Amino acid sequence: MVLQSGTKRILKLTPDGLEQILDVLHKIGFETIGPTLGNDAIVYETIGSIDDLPQGWTDKQEPAAYRIIKRNDQAYFGFNAAPQSWKRFLYPPDRTLFRIRRKGKGLEFMEQEENTAELALIGVRPCELEAITIQERVFTSSEQRDDSYLAVRKKLFIIAVNCTSSGGNCFCASMNTGPHAKENFDLALTEVVNANEHFFIVEIGSETGLSVIHDVESAEPTEDEVETAAGLVRQAESQIRKLDLDTTPKLLSANLEHPEWDEVSKRCLACGNCTMVCPTCFCSTVEDTTDLSGKLAERRRRWDSCFTLDFAKVAGGNFRTSPRSRYRQWLTHKLSSWVDQFGKSGCVGCGRCITWCPVGIDITAEVQKITGT
């Protein structure tokens, strides 16, 4: 099988074929991470086979609400954005930066384990794929790059899964990030499941993707089958929520004193949930500790949130004490200044911040309120 550069080869795969792909990945040495059931939710964890996938389950998402429920079919990927994104695999919530030992009057570094994991992400949604690309830009585009991020990212194998239904809080269509994955994957699946058949349409996105699928049993899909899959994805484009990608950045930067910031801050608990579940939020803090003898010191990097009170604190005071200013920072950064910094919006429309906000603040509604006045 020869993949000509610039062309995308399309194949048809059975669930068994997907299992074979996992086997190939394992043989190469990849750890396969994918969706599975855990804690009454869909979680991304190490999976051994397609039996670990949340087959026959979906979720129901609303502002401040998430429930998993049974589907009427046996779809493997019939759910929407999981509570946690893939972010933690590339950018761990807690990472040791270095360990130092006292030696006489001096100091010396202790050896540190290198992150050698080769990860294959199974079931990355188009919005999540975009989120990975966005974080990649944050961590690797400036002069000083995050080496630990690069180490994992360079070895990453990605199987994307196109969405055939949208969750209650999804707005990827307006953000131009989904429901169809266009690039940056090794393989992309569209799942078709009905009374008669259950198969995947596979798009090959890279040479590695091609080599992985090379010896897997597959077939040429018919035009009808390809069209059926494409139709399902188009169906997922119908979403209630939306954001105007073109006007929002300027709208927000021009409305930094809008009364809505006061209004929303009356509801916002400044808990930071939105920043934790956001697949692009990248803020971190560092924590320094010593052991009891005081001879061994460690520095860890942890996820941080712009909602914490001491986020903008300096020796002489604190630049953002009010919840109003912290909510404004989060929203204007995500949707406006991110564009200035990295050339693109920091939002992919996955809707997690709406689902996991304990009081159900909806960022698309907030933008709408500022637009409407």
Partner 1 sequence: MSETFVDTGTETGTAMVPSFATIRKITWETDDTFTLIIDAPQVNGLPFSFKPGQFNMVYAFGTGESAISISSDPFKKSVIAHTIHRVGTVTSHLSRLKRGDMIGIRGPFGSAWPLDKAAGKDVCIVTGGIGIAPLRPTIYSLLRKRSEYGRIIILYGARSPLDLLYRVELEEWSKMPDVEVIVAVDRGDSSWKGHIGVVTNLFSYIKLDPRASIAMVCGPEVMMKFTIEELQRRGFAQSQIHVSLERNMKCGIGLCGHCQLGPKFICKDGPVFALPDVQYLLERKEL
Partner 2 sequence: MQTQDLTESLHQHPFLRNMDQELINTLTSCASNVVFQEGNYLFHESEDARTFYLIRSGRVALEAGGSERGQIRIQTLGPGEVLGWSWLIAPYRWHFDAYAVEQVHAFAIDATCLRTKSETDWHFGYEMLRRFSEVLERRLEATRLQLLDIYGTVKGDKGEKF
Site for partner 1 in 71-110 (CB under 8 A): 97-98, 100, 102, 105-107, 109
- 243: nearest Cα among 297, 172, 182: 172
| Least separation in angstroms between CB 316 and partner 2 | 6
Q: Which span (85-93, 191-199, 264-272, 307-315) binds partner 2, by CB under 8 A?
A: 307-315
The residue with tokens 């404004």 is 328
* From candidates 115, 265, 284, 371, binder to partner 1 by CB under 8 A: 284
Distance CA 243, CA 15 (A): 36
Instruction: Give residues 309-338 in contact with partner 2 (rule: CB under 8 A).
Output: 310, 313, 315-318, 321
Q: How many CA atoms lie within 13 A of 73 on its CB side?
A: 14
Does residue 22 sit in helix, strand or coil? helix
Q: Which residue bears the tokens 């990248």?
A: 282
> CB burial class (10 A; 0-12, 13-18, 19+) of residue 181?
buried
Q: How many CB atoms lie within 10 A of CB 309?
A: 13
Look at residues 193, 158, 171, 180 and name the one whose alpha carbon lies nearest to residue 230: 180
Residue placing its CB nearer to partner 2 in the complex, 184 or 322: 322
For residue 221, give Cα distances in angstroms to 29, 279, 343.
Answer: 30, 33, 38
Q: Which residue has the tokens 């899909």?
A: 221
Stretch that binds partner 1, among 164-172, 249-257, 348-356, 364-372 (CB under 8 A): 249-257
Run of H or E residues at 234: helix 223-235
Dihedral sign from CA coordinates of 255, 256, 257, 258: positive
115 touches partner 1 by CB under 8 A = no
Binds partner 1 by CB under 8 A, chosen from 138, 213, 232, 361: 138
Report if residue 126 touches partner 1, rule: CB under 8 A: no
Tokens coding 340:
């200035």
Q: Which is nearer to partner 1, 72 or 289 (CB)?
A: 289
d(CA 159, CA 201): 12
Which range in 69-77, 220-228, 333-341, 349-357 contacts partner 1 by CB under 8 A?
Answer: 333-341
Q: For partner 1, which stretch binds (CB under 8 A), given 31-39, 54-62, 65-73, 200-208?
A: 200-208
Q: Which of 283, 360, 365, 369 binds partner 1 (CB under 8 A)?
A: 283
Residues 6+ apart with CB under 8 A from 113: none
Is residue 314 close enough to count as binding partner 1 by CB under 8 A? yes
CA angle 275, 277, 279 (to 5 degrees): 90
Quote the least distance from Cβ 86 to partner 2, whole Å.
Answer: 34
- From the list 37-45, 193-201, 224-232, 251-259, the region that binds partner 1 by CB under 8 A is 251-259
Tell me how many residues contact partner 1 (CB under 8 A): 70
CB of 223 to partner 1, least distance (A): 28
Least CB distance to partner 1 at residue 33 (A): 14
Cα separation of 271 and 78, whole Å?
A: 30
Window contacting partner 2 (CB under 8 A); options: 24-32, 149-157, 288-296, 308-316: 308-316
Should residue 40 be labelled a site residue for partner 1 when binding is judged by CB under 8 A?
no
Looking at residue 233, its amino acid is V
- Rounded to a whole number of angstroms, the minimum distance from the CB of residue 286 to partner 2 is 14
- Asked if 6 touches partner 2 (CB under 8 A), the answer is no
Query: How far lies 351's CA from each of 83, 158, 265, 346, in Å?
Result: 10, 22, 20, 13
Binding interface with partner 1 (CB under 8 A): 97-98, 100, 102, 105-107, 109, 118, 136, 138-140, 142-147, 150, 153-158, 184-186, 205-208, 253, 256-257, 282-286, 288-290, 294, 297, 299, 301, 304, 306, 310-316, 319-322, 324-325, 328-329, 332-333, 337, 340-341
Binding interface with partner 2 (CB under 8 A): 310, 313, 315-318, 321
